[in-house]
Chains A and B, each alone.
Chain A
Amino acid sequence: MPEGCLRHDRDRPLALVAPGKGGARIVSLNRAARQGGLVEGELLSNARSKVLDLQSRAADPGADAAALRKLALWCLRYTPTAAPWDEQSGADGLFLDVTGCAHLFGGEARLLADLEGRLRAFGLYPRTAIAGTAGASWAMARHGATDCRIVASGEEGSALENLPLAALRLSQATQTLMRRLGFKRIGEIVDQPRAPFAARFEPEFLRRLDQALGHAPEPLVPVVPPPAYHARAMFLEPILSQEHVLEAARRLLRELADALERDAVGARVLRLLLFRVVSETRFQHDSGVQSLDLGLAAPSRDPEHIARLIALRLDRLGDRLETEFGFEAAAVHVLAAEPLSERQERLGMDEGSAPPEGLAQLIDRLQQRLGSGAVCQLHPHQSHIPERAERIVSPSPRFLRGEGQWGEGTAPRPLLMLPRPEAAEVVALIPEGPPRQFRWRGVLHQVAEAQGPERIAPEWWHRTAEETRDYYVVEDAAGRRFWLYRAGLYGRSAAPPQWFMHGVFG
């Protein structure tokens, strides 16, 4: 359904057109137009002469693809694997892998009924089918009879027997050739020997047949990568308040904890998906999915700890969590998991030692409340340039044990370093000498003693326009110490070298 289209009368014939050979050609038709005798690919001018009150709109494949993607995201409430059809299957449908998800709805028939009902409420005309293979379900949805839409696994052969060959998603050339050879139904080719087909037709043909019958796999390209572990819940009544969301999340996490424990892994990255109740008009604008991503410093499967982090994140979101009419479903996906073995309780653990996960949980809580960039650690880095000699990294409990090679170099380094060196006006006795007085941030300081210079040249392997720096540690009469440098050497360039303040000592 193209975005922004005017409400059109469904009983009148409508065609979507795109430029083609000889003029505008019809790309797709609605039911009324098809009943009028039009076919796809026809010239619009011809079609107008056949059906007088034909409405036409320009086809917008980009908008169609975007709308289909939103529909796929909306369908995540049924299953984490929702895949739009590829080019050969058409641009107007989805595959949903509902293995293991049907029990939440009370069976496959109820799931189909629920899905169809909701899609009809959006104003779409869906055709759905459930089968053991993707190919069979596509065939049943597109060409099958309306009353038997669920195919039990193993019975694909009998279900597909009477369907036309177009249900196998073959190319036009193959279909024309098969028609000429006299094959009309899938049942006619299933029992034939395969070698003559393989010799005359493209290998695609046999592959599609095998995929439909379940003898060959068909990988789907889901709209979002499906997680390794997931749990979902649908609510009878939409939930609105934060406490209810937290309680639902806690229950889902407890379900997940069992699965994680069975595999001896802990979650590192989690995603909480909340599915909003979406009305028909709203659906065109967003798919109604709100997702919160959580990253943990150390793998964990403790439901209470993760629930506390979710609470902190919801507090931080505050008003930006759009509830509108409430959430009707929630799901938790574990996007990344790492091995987490059982921790053995040490015999006679002393009182003062902290449990190792205490630090990881503290880091997680702080990151959730303040943002992931707020908590950091310093790591040394191999560089002479002072601002590159250390890196700010996100903390990991493994590193907070006193490792790290902070070289006790003889050159003094300031306690606090300015993020960017600030210009200072310096008066020195001789041009290359130490400063005697300087003005920084409007305050004049008299230098009692200056020590240095420490020469730091730019790294020649980085082609930068930096200049050689001569650093001085200067102390004024009050005892405050500063780290000044002169950038550039005399005689190299026409302008005299500039002085900068880079840090202060404690």
Chain B
Amino acid sequence: MRSVYNDNAGPRMSWLQNPSLRPPHSLRRKEGDSLAALRRVVAKLETVAPAIGAQHLPLGVPEMQAHLPGPGLACGVLHEMAAADHGDRPAAFGFLFALTAAALRSRPGPAVLVATRRALLDFGRPCGHGLAQLGLDVGRLLIVETETDKDALWTIEDALRSQARPAVVAGAISGNLDLTVSRRLNLAAAAHTTPLVLLRTSIAAGTSAAATRWRIAAAPAARDRFGVFAGPRWRVALERCRNGRPGQWLIEWTHVAHRFRLVESVADRAPVERAGLRRAG
């Protein structure tokens, strides 16, 4: 095996494999620094990744945030989610609205929800009282219903680029996202670093340039001390994450504190056998 630094013939092990050849301690620290500097340069070159120190949407679950590149859901990029199964679509909507509520809490401006008619066909329209019970500020919600996916994507892009500076743009489309569309949405979201979360109702995934991809499944709700349903719970799986690691969690939403709470981490255990819920990787 040839070493990269040596043209001569003969096996010469690199300094990584041979401990005696390792550089002294002072030089090692400089290499650690240079590695961090290299990481920063690469991050700057990647046009779509937000700069270090950009805004993030705090989720409130440190275990989840450890898998993400920043302290929360990054703003200014596209986050994509889908339901694990057709019957889990209300749960996916619930997760979408919970993220919207968290964004409305921490950022100023209105929230724009764009949905195609087909996405709302199966289970109905959002109910204002239900949204209020989730902790969402319904007075700041603007709902746009479109006929086609094309209109919905145009609306999302217009809302992201407009001077209205919404706090969050949430979308529900019926088709799939491809590379071109997702790149366009990334660029549009980066214009004013608005968080953008998109729910696609098609189960199968295509290639997309989304920063994170989630899969949501329903879970039995939390009970309060009287046994009444308290907060909704979801099994969320982070399938793909740029500059991060995938993982699975069972989380609960507290509408009082507008944040998530980890109930148990599923990543350490064997994946739950559910129809349609596959472990990423």
Query: Which A residues lie at the B interface, using CB under 8 A?
Result: 352-355, 357-359, 361-363, 365-366, 369-370, 374-380, 386, 389-390, 395, 399-404, 406-409, 412-419, 443, 448, 451, 473, 475, 478-481, 503-506
Contacts and interface: CB of A to CB of B under 8 A. Distances in A.
A414 to B, nearest CB: 5
Interface stretch (B12-20, B68-76, B152-160, B241-249): B152-160
A374 B144 contact: yes
B94 interface: yes
A316 B131 CA distance: 33
B239 interface: no
B220 interface: yes
A354 B109 contact: yes
A470 to B, nearest CB: 17
Contacts, number: 173
Contact of A390 (B127, B140, B164, B229): B127
A223 B54 CA distance: 60
Given A366-B158, A504-B123, A415 B90 contact: yes
Interface in B87-124: 87-88, 90-91, 93-95, 97-98, 108-110, 120, 123-124
Contact of A481 (B126, B145, B221): B221
A193 to B, nearest CB: 71
Contact of B220 (A375, A376, A448): A448
Contact of B158 (A357, A362, A379, A416): A362
Given A352-B165, A362-B162, A375-B143, A380 B129 contact: yes
A390 B163 contact: no
B33 interface: no
Contacts of B229: 412, 451, 473, 475, 481
A383 to B, nearest CB: 11
Contacts of A481: 218, 221, 229
Contacts of A380: 128-129
A406 B138 contact: yes
Given A366-B158, A370-B144, A374-B145, A359 B94 contact: no
B139 interface: yes
Given A415-B93, A503-B124, 7 more contacts: A361-B164, A370-B146, A375-B143, A376-B143, A378-B141, A400-B139, A480-B87
B221 A416 contact: no
Contact of A355 (B147, B163, B217): B163
B138 to A, nearest CB: 5
Contact of B108 (A352, A377, A403): A352
B137 interface: yes
B108 A353 contact: yes
Given A390-B127, A506-B95, A475 B221 contact: yes
Nearest to A502: B124
Contacts of A414: 127, 130
Contacts of A418: 123-124
